[in-house]
Chains A and B, each alone.
Chain A
Amino acid sequence: MESVKLFGTWSSPSSKRVEIALKLKGVEYEYVEEDLQNKSPDLLKYNPIHKKVPILLHNGKPIVESLLIVEYIDETWPGPAILPSDPYDRAMARFWAKFLDEKCWPAMKKAWLSTGEEQEKANEEANEALMFLENELKGKKFFGGDTIGLVDIAANLIALWYGINEELSGLIQQPLTKDKFPNLCEWVDEYTNCSFVKENLPPTDKLAQLYMARIQADKASAQ
């Protein structure tokens, strides 16, 4: 009998990525909510190097790092493909997923936390990054084409962020606006309307509260 366990947190976009992938494939799994202020012995045992969530435990063997877990899920279980079959298309998917994590998200975070000239520069970088993604969506419903793929799952964090946009508008400058990024905004609607994404969305008010607290804390410690 197969056993699948996921250690995650309700607010973590990385954690949600794995849940979406599992739900997409129809894999039954046991979910364990971790308290990151008080990490469980299991978390430290299964991810001793990074000590983070998400952790997927498949028949007792741990896999960590959200995008690696998503690829593993795609290779292990049948069902809708998360990565395309053609090597070139797979390379493009991996490229954009990395771009999201390594360029786009850090730029967006920097834009929220910095001030003055540094913030102007960070805003430019964030806008440039989002524009690449905007163009990548041209003529497509999802980054993956007609159906959700790796890049859509990786772009989870943008969808989550956009969802609490209004609550945070007093606190930060939201780069993702409909007039500048029509494709991305439409993508957010399509993506969050997919059943397995929808049923997985964290409560927006709770999430907004959490992010507001974090931004305020980060801004305070930066000063």
Chain B
Amino acid sequence: MENSGHIVKLYGAWGSPFVHRVIWALKLKGVEYEYIEEDLSNKSSSLLEYNPVHKEVPVLIHNGKPVVDSIVILEYIEETWPHLYPLLPADSYDRALARFWIDFGQQKRPTVHAFCGSSKENNEKTGEKMLETLNIIQDQALGDKKFFGGDSIGMVDLYFGWYVQWFPCFEQLAGLQVLNPSNLPKLHKWAMNFKEEPIIKETLYDSKKLLLHLEGIRKKRYMAAQARVL
């Protein structure tokens, strides 16, 4: 294990797909770390000290210095341990492309949130837009490759990795399945391949537990939104 002279801590929260990206990156690179579970309804003084701007998880502490924002953390892990399981291509143009697809995913967050927050009564339009987005990701980012990173998992796979377990839960809550073999054959196959990778497989949650957890979050958000309106 690569840890001579490195003390790595990760502040996370159970069920967070953003934290999971970081866990996957650390495990793929074989970096040892101490995990600290945060209660997001009662944030620790450490979390607030290390991430005063966003007050969120994940926060990576490397030799006492904090790095925040899951995408910034992924790039940091890649640059700090570049020789262990590279997550980005060597060619700078290909790296720009990888970063483009992560940025694309970020720009599509409103579409994703809209779908994930919808229900049987209003999922048609949100489902349509969600499918449109996933089509672009499937056809242009993934294409005929096994993974977004090529033959092995890369940073873009870790970024979209939440689709393999969190997204199906939201599909259930929204009452509409979008990512299935008939709609998105290549992307669905990618999801199956990704889930089967040993490091990914061993970190996946019990689906029922995750579903309940996400349902709880949705309810809280809905009630908070209602409170703001009233």
Contact = CB atoms under 8 A, between A and B. Distances in A.
Most buried by A among B68, B96, B103: B96
B65 A64 contact: no
Contacts of B80: 87
Contacts of A71: 96, 99
Interface size of A as a range: 20 to 34
B93 A61 contact: yes
A107 to B, nearest CB: 12
Interface string A184-218: 00000000000000000000000000000000000
A99 B67 contact: no
Given A63-B93, A63-B96, A88-B67, A94 B72 contact: yes
A88 B68 contact: no
A213 B93 CA distance: 38
A149 to B, nearest CB: 15
A88 B62 contact: yes
Nearest to B95: A75
Interface size of B as a range: 20 to 34
A31 interface: no
Interface in B46-67: 53, 62, 65, 67
Given A68-B103, A94-B72, A88 B65 contact: yes
A63 B103 CA distance: 12
Contacts of B99: 68, 71
Nearest to A87: B79
A72 B72 contact: no
A99 to B, nearest CB: 7
Interface string A150-186: 0000000000000000000000000000000000000
A151 to B, nearest CB: 13
Contacts of A103: 53
A61 B72 CA distance: 26
B100 interface: yes
Given A72-B93, A88-B67, A99-B53, 12 more contacts: A49-B104, A49-B140, A64-B100, A68-B96, A68-B100, A68-B103, A71-B99, A76-B92, A87-B76, A90-B75, A91-B76, A95-B69
Interface of B: 53, 62, 65, 67-69, 71-73, 75-76, 79-80, 92-93, 95-96, 99-100, 103-104, 107, 136, 140
